């Protein structure tokens, strides 16, 4: 089987992290976002992954070369010279996706984190005999999204309603699809939306089906959702395999600590924290609801909450970082500095407090 991952463009919503790496290579729970998807695809027998990309493909491919060998999977790029929306990239990658076998292929949005129930998706797709299957997820406020209206028993999609004013359902497109090769005959090589143009046409032919995604779902393409997504992911990890989560008197709730990280005495860590490889957390540090990426050094008695600390940054003694502060790569926060929602670009030194949310250039 094959899969296409829609990688897209510049990752502006996740800056300053995406100034250092393309968004799919930004760490989420101690490994690049896209690797969560590729590993799950490999588990159900996918042997070739195509990345639909229009920005820095060589960085992606160089990085993923190691994982090709480890997972025994081929990773290639299909590069757009102009943005082609969410359907155009499928037409562009047609030759890479169709091999004459008639096997369906996966299409994923690279920002989506979930439990990836691909085996169930394959089984359901083959059972209904339609042309395409989309995964849907239930939301509390459907009026903010495009809603998928479907038959509850069969899963057949009747129609899509964009940001409904009255309640028509609570299921939205989860950005995970399994498509027959015939779907490519419906897509022209031009900027096209798969959600607004292609799927409604398949639904009108009664050949589009939806499967409700079990477990959690989150689009982690922006900082606040990234932090929420980490909480949901760690919660799911707790239910599936507790031995991957940290334990001890200094741990509260769900915490993921890389085996090469060093943690000092008297710390209190959690809930919902990921500490990456090579990190040093000195004595008396307090961490909650945050991601600390590879090579970060947090000095004594610092306190970090609801924030993302980018690669190889340093946080000084008694510093306090909170309220969706995002530190880019190699940022150095001085001793006793307070930052409240600061978004700091890479390679900066912060010597005085950031008292209200602002971008530090």
Instruction: Give the CATH number, domain containing residue 8.
Output: 3.90.550.10
Are 156 and 44 within one domain? Answer: yes
pLDDT of 152 strictly over 90: no
Q: Do both 133 and 160 map to the same domain?
A: yes
Secondary structure element (H or E) that encloses residue 64, with its range: helix 57-71
User: Which domain, by its residues, includes 9?
Assistant: 2-219
Q: What pLDDT sits at residue 40?
A: 92
Q: Which residues pair with 219 in a beta bridge?
A: 112
> Where does a domain end: 165, 194, 219?
219
Q: Are residues 53 and 166 in the same domain?
A: yes
Q: Are 214 and 75 contained in the same domain? A: yes
Mean per-residue pLDDT, 323-348: 94
pLDDT of res. 24: 81
Q: Judge if 196 and 253 occupy the same domain.
A: no
Query: What letter does residue 361 receive in the DSSP assignment?
Result: -
Q: What percent of the chain has pLDDT over 70?
A: 98
For residue 297, give the CATH number of its domain.
Answer: 2.160.10.10
Handedness of CA 4, 193, 185, 133 (dihedral sign): positive
Answer with the one of 219, 247, 268 that is the final residue of a domain: 219
Whether residues 207 and 330 share a domain: the answer is: no
- Please give the model's pTM, rounded to 2 decimal places: 0.86
| Total domain count, the chain | 2
Both 321 and 215 in one domain: the answer is no
| C-alpha–C-alpha distance, residues 279 and 259, integer Å | 10
The per-residue DSSP string of 205-228 comes to TT-EEEEEPPS-EEE-SSHHHHHH
Q: Residues 169, 241: one domain?
A: no
Q: Kindly state the average pLDDT of the residues 177-194.
A: 88
Q: What is the pLDDT of residues 278-328, one digit of tens each?
A: 999 999 999 999 999 999 999 999 999 999 999 999 999 999 999 999 999
**pLDDT tens by residue, 34-77:** 889 999 999 998 988 988 887 667 777 777 777 888 888 888 88
Residues 134 and 215 reside in one and the same domain: yes
Structural element, H or E, at residue 161:
strand 157-162
235 and 193 housed in the same domain: no
User: Cα(294)–Cα(311) distance, rounded to whole angstroms?
Assistant: 5
Q: Which residues does 168 contact at the CB level (< 8 Å), separation at least 6?
A: 142, 147, 149, 161
Q: Do residues 135 and 213 touch, judged by C-beta distance below 8 A? A: yes
Specify the pLDDT at position 179.
93
Give yes or no: residues 193 and 80 share one domain.
yes
153 and 287 both lie in a single domain? no
- Give yes or no for a cis peptide into 257 (omega within 30° of 0): no
Position 95 scores a pLDDT of 84
Domain boundary among 161, 195, 219: 219
């Amino acid at each position: 089987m094959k899969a296409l991952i829609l990688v897209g463009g510049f990752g502006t919503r996740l800056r300053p992290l995406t100034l250092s790496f393309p968004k799919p290579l930004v760490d989420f729970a101690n490994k690049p976002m896209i690797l969560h998807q590729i590993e799950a695809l490999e588990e159900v027998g996918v042997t070739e992954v195509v990345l639909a990309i229009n920005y820095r493909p060589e960085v992606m491919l160089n990085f993923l070369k190691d994982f090709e060998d480890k997972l025994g999977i081929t990773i290639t790029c299909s590069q757009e010279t102009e943005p082609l929306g969410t359907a155009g990239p499928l037409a562009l990658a047609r030759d890479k996706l169709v091999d004459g076998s008639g096997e369906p292929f996966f299409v994923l949005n690279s920002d989506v984190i979930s439990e990836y129930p691909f085996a169930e998706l394959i089984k359901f797709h083959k059972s209904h005999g339609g042309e395409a299957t989309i995964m849907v997820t239930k939301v509390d406020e459907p009026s903010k999204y495009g809603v998928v209206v479907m038959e509850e028993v069969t899963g057949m999609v009747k129609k899509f309603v964009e940001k409904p004013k009255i309640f028509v359902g609570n299921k939205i497109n989860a950005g995970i699809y399994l498509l027959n090769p015939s779907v490519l005959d419906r897509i022209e090589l031009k900027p096209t939306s798969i959600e607004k143009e292609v799927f409604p046409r398949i639904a009108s032919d009664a050949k589009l089906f939806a499967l409700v995604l079990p477990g959690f779902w989150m689009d982690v393409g922006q900082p606040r959702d990234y932090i929420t997504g980490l909480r949901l992911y760690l919660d799911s990890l707790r239910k599936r395999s507790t031995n991957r989560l940290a334990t001890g008197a200094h741990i509260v709730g769900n915490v993921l600590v890389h085996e090469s990280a060093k943690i000092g005495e008297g710390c209190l860590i959690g809930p919902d924290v990921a500490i990456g490889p090579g990190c040093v957390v000195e004595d008396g540090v307090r961490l909650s609801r945050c991601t600390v990426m590879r090579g970060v050094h947090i000095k004594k008695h610092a306190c970090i909450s609801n924030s993302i600390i980018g690669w190889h940054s340093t946080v000084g003694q008694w510093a306090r970082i909170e309220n969706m502060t995002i530190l880019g790569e190699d940022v150095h926060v001085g001793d006793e500095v307070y930052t409240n929602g600061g978004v700091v670009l890479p390679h900066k030194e912060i010597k005085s407090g950031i008292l209200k949310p602002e971008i530090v250039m």
